[in-house]
Structure 1
């Protein structure tokens, strides 16, 4: 997502938040957070095999049920969903604001015998770097939470909307920050971050910051500062940008079936069914 002209890269294995980490609340900071040492460990956190089992064909089925073929993965990370969709026969373009993540994604694609088409792009200027219109855009892995400024969120969603065909859909996920803010943090550790030897827990929570710390088996620790998005707020933004229909899932289940889900998944459609 990062604008390459403004990117400042941190040392390979070192994150720097200055003297007041909980005061770092800016969109562009995420580029520095994904240092090489963190990116190289990211797949330990996800555990690709377990995650594939836990989410099954959810995204494949959602896309196929709506007849979508060309997919823009705007937060490809290390490539998990791009690779799953490529293997399922979709035409996928993979974008990310972290050059380190894109490098790892391409490497993972090669290891899985697929070629990932990567684009280094900032969501706020997405259509400057990514050309053409897509049947669907996916923004997964709680990535939208990297945007700290409301104008950035609105601008990014407008860019997503513009990159979709007239009947396109956006699939966007987020942590259940409502529960974290209102009741405190707990996690089933079942669907998203499946690595059983890695912990991901908040070390600071307020209405404007969710600061998570990730601890790996080798004892190393890395952090991410994220904006705690409430579910109804996100749906309101999607509506304001122009999306016509919404369907939200909790941990891959119909809304209401999963009590206190760890994650919400929003499927937003650009046009009404039958338009």
Structure 2
């Protein structure tokens, strides 16, 4: 695993909106940003807002072993452990994994962590899973279509024959078509923090994260349209895809902050 960075400042160079590379995420999650991330989420408030949605969906499908490929600070890994699932926690950021491990220890859990790039996931993770979760708008760190296809193919390969992928994304359709509007009801539940886009075009959504001590951090993300994401999933091989808006099965396209895609591998052998 890479040595943890002690950096407190992000560096996007002289033209931040020109930074449109998948590998940029490694430099975005500097130590100071990661240490503040949980104040953005607010674990207790987030539990109340999303309820048991992910736990229920996984249990409905008989899932037991879960790979959390975008662990972040560990929120969903810990929730799934506490619900009785076996969990492997992966992330591309060593800073995030370190914070997740500490958070889990403070709650009496020992995370099984692995630092992994999704594009070569199966080089670092050597088992099959009933489910993979990729949450927190993390998939939109991938700026190149080949990277997105490669990552989805790696997820597909890491699943058992009847496995399921749960992947979420911000509602970039609404952002691109109507501008920014968000209640932060479900995902960013912290108080005295704010998240807003400071630049949006068809190839970049740059978000500014403001904290109560006036610290500011940024994330550059690719604004994936919902239909594009589900099409890529189908082209990689996923057979059945359901999309929820802020945990609801029915919604108006412009209303949800986030979309949640549940994609089933759903392989059926010819003798069945």
1:130 maps to 2:129: no
CA distance in 2, matches of 1:212, 1:227: 11
Runs of 4+ with deviation above 2 angstroms: 7-11, 255-259, 272-275
Residue by residue over 1:224-273, the C-alpha shift from the partner in whole angstroms, topping out at 9 and shown as x without a partner, is 00000000000000000000001010000103278610000000000168
TM superposition shift of 1:148? 0.2
Are 1:194 and 2:182 an aligned pair? no
Counterparts in 2 of 1:12-31, with a 5 A limit? 12-31=7-26
1:42 to 19, 37, 46: 37
CA distance in 2, matches of 1:128, 1:70: 19
State the secondary structure of the residue aligned to 1:28.
Answer: helix
- 1:96 and 2:82 matched: no
Structure 1, residues 20-65: CA drift from partner, whole Å, max 9, x if none? 0000000000110000000000000001000000000000000000
1:105-184, aligned counterparts within 5 Å?
A: 105-184=100-179
**1:217 partnered with 2:212:** yes
1:239 aligns with 2:239: no
Q: Distance in 2 between matches of 1:169 and 1:120?
A: 22
1:12 deviates by: 1.7
* Residue 77 (structure 2) aligns with: 82
CA shift digits 1:92-146 (9 cap, x unpaired): 0000000000000000000111110000000000000001100000000000000
Instruction: Please report the TM-score for the alignment, with normalisation by the length of structure 2.
Output: 0.96
Q: Secondary structure at the match of 1:178?
A: helix
Unpaired segments ≥5 residues, structure 1: none
Does residue 1:260 correspond to 2:260, yes or no? no
The alignment partner of 2:22 has SS state of: coil
Distance 2:149 2:237 in 1: 11
Gaps of 5+ in 2: none
Corresponding residue for residue 56 of structure 1: 51
Aligned partners of 1:8 and 1:32 also within 8 Å: no
**What is the CA–CA distance in structure 1 between the aligned matches of 2:253 and 2:54, rounded to whole Å?**
18
2:65 corresponds, among 64, 70, 78, to 70
TM-score, structure 1 as length reference = 0.95
Partners of 2:13 and 2:189 in 1: CA distance: 30
SS at match of 2:100: helix
Q: State the alpha-carbon separation in 1 of the partners of residues 102 and 4 from structure 2.
A: 20
